[in-house]
């Protein structure tokens, strides 16, 4: 029983490491993605099973601020 509890705690902790968020691009399209990295004015984001690299400026201002923090 204790072993299952420990496995559950570890599983839940790992799930929180890379959390997804809904971002909005300048055209109003919602994107459910997970930030992988930020380099200068570009962001690498995982969307579903694919990774995309694009300018941060393609997102609305509130999302740009979130990424830059």
**What percentage of the chain has pLDDT greater than the value 90?**
68
Q: How many CA atoms lie within 13 A of 23 on its CB side?
A: 25
Q: Can you give the residue ranges of every domain in the chain? A: 19-68
What is the mean pLDDT of the segment spanning 24-50? 95
Query: Residue 40: left (phi > 0), alpha (psi -120 to 50), or beta?
Result: left
- Would you tell me which CATH number, out of the four given (2.30.29.30, 3.30.310.160, 2.30.30.700, 3.40.50.970), belongs to the domain 19-68? 2.30.30.700
pLDDT beyond 70 at 58: yes
- Cβ pair 44, 51 in contact under 8 A: yes
For residues 64 and 27, give the distance between their C-alpha atoms in angstroms, rounded to a whole number. 14
Write down the pLDDT at residue 6.
Answer: 59
pLDDT tens string 7-33? 555 554 444 446 789 999 999 999 999
């Amino acid at each position: 029983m204790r072993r299952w509890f420990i496995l559950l705690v570890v599983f839940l902790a790992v799930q929180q490491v890379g959390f997804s968020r809904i971002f909005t691009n300048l055209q109003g399209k919602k994107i459910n993605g997970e930030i992988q990295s930020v380099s200068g004015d570009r962001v690498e984001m995982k969307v579903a099973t694919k990774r995309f690299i694009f300018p941060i400026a393609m997102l609305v201002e509130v999302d740009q601020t979130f990424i830059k923090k």
